[in-house]
Structure 1
Amino acid sequence: MTSLRLVFFHLTCLFLGIMAQAAALKLSSSVQPDGGLLSLKTGDNLTLTCFYNVDVAARLYWYKQPLGQKLQLITTFFYFDTNGTFYGEFKNNPRFTLGKGHGKYHLKISDLRVLDSATYHCIHYINSLEISESITVSVTGSAWVHQSVLEIIQLGDSVTLNCTVHTGTCDGEHSVYWFKRSQESHPGLIYTHGGRNDQCERKDNTQTHTCVYNLPMKSLNLSHAGTYYCAVASCGHILFGNGTKLDFQDKVDSPVLLYFLSGALTFTTILVVLLTLSVFKMRKRNSYGSAGN
């Protein structure tokens, strides 16, 4: 139970980090991020950018943080350095290089692999450590997750959200998690399928292994509005779907309602004008009658 809660905690932290990093994301790669999560395929090349103030003598660091693990120091760079220094498994690794220039401290990763999936932090130190850039990278082989983009619903309806997972040659157990993001609440884990694999099948004459997971919801109300993300733990890495947005539609067609309200307003205005004229005429007649007496 403790290990399961730990997985939930790490997944929730990862999801929150993805959403929080969307606004701060800067990339020079031709592949663009989707909702704050950068998804790439094995073999791709990636450049993570980091900029610094050239007028300040600062020390800069690139760190890698795989899901559920500690920070791993990749490289350091000082204002007066010319090359930078790599550490540990990244030292003398030709896949990791630095793109340096006037105010630039970019980390370049070539020939991406699944084990490169992690959150990368560019940190600078002047008087204290501060994170300059952060980006979560998910590297997959032939695996990918598909979700429908939008579901239009009405109050009281029921809906079933689908998450289709294509895992290529990977036949391992899948743990499926659902996250919800809305304007009224912070993103959070709402449901998990555990390790169920009973909805999976392999297509004939192909290496594609496909699984479909459902999230049924009944008696929908306004609190259900938001975007639902499917996350799949498969073959040692996490795959995120693009999210399905639940949006409510009024049961009364809005143009019809608009015409009805406009007609009611017009009728009320005419009625008020007629009543005003009638009262004015009655007062005028009464004033003439009083003058004649």
Structure 2
Amino acid sequence: MDGTNQLATQYIKFPNTAKAQFPIKRVFHSIADLLNTIGVIVCTHVHIKAPSPDPSPSQTIPLYRCSTYSGYVVEQDQLKVAEVGDSVNLSCFSTRDIKTTIVWIKQNPGEKPVEIATSYQQQAGTFYNGFEKSGRFKTQAAPGSFNLTISNLEPSDTAMYYCAVIFIYDITFGEGTVLVVKGAPLTKHKVHQQSVLEAVHPGDSVTLQCTVLTESCSGEHSVYWFRHGSGESHPGIIYTHGNRSDECKKSSETDSPTQSCVYKLPKRNLSLSDAGTYYCAVAACGQILFGNGTDLHITGKV
């Protein structure tokens, strides 16, 4: 056992960030009801006795055989923005690529998820629900990955795309990729944000605001906030309002069909890491609309 302990750090690796540990903990809880578990070491202890009429404890050799399992993680890009007519590649990486099925799923706002394609053990993708008919959807399977390419983008391609890995009875989902196709008709919707806030200092508080104007499809909206920090390749989702229609008011003009919805994101006790551009995205009427972003500058020391 001493030898195993000495070599453990060299051969046994466990995830060391909360983001990486969360989906693995979920796997162990679902398959074995184990809480807060990120890995298991299973050992078999066998005593081997020396061929002697009177063996002493020193002649008994303990033999340990160990194996490990630490779950698996599915990684996706959080946001992809492209123009109508462009092509986009949605990537999906899994830390497990043996005896697994990987599936791509599309979900439009307010609609049920629809299966796009699957791949078993790196085989060519199999399409479902007519996604192969247009010839715009292609898949690329490789060890540990199953990517989806959409060419000649259309407004209807704007949606959330999930990648999931299926192993035996367990399904692990990625966090999803939001695909926004710009240049699509916006059904008389507009999203307004204040472009720049006055500079604030660490410890201050501020409220970001997003106003949605719509002349049709009044009702529930799903509102998402993204933050794009300096040096980050893609914005990341930081908050969602869920379905909210109670923050909307009709225009004061009697005959006007315009409805104004205001959504706020309070930020308290700011730190330098909160600086960046905050984007408001509104899912409504089967589309996702983005504001132009609000720049938050934080100056000074704590």
Q: Higher helix share goes to which structure? A: 1
Task: Using structure 1 for the length normalisation, give the TM-score.
Answer: 0.49
Q: Higher strand share goes to which structure? A: 2
Task: Using structure 2 for the length normalisation, give the TM-score.
Answer: 0.48
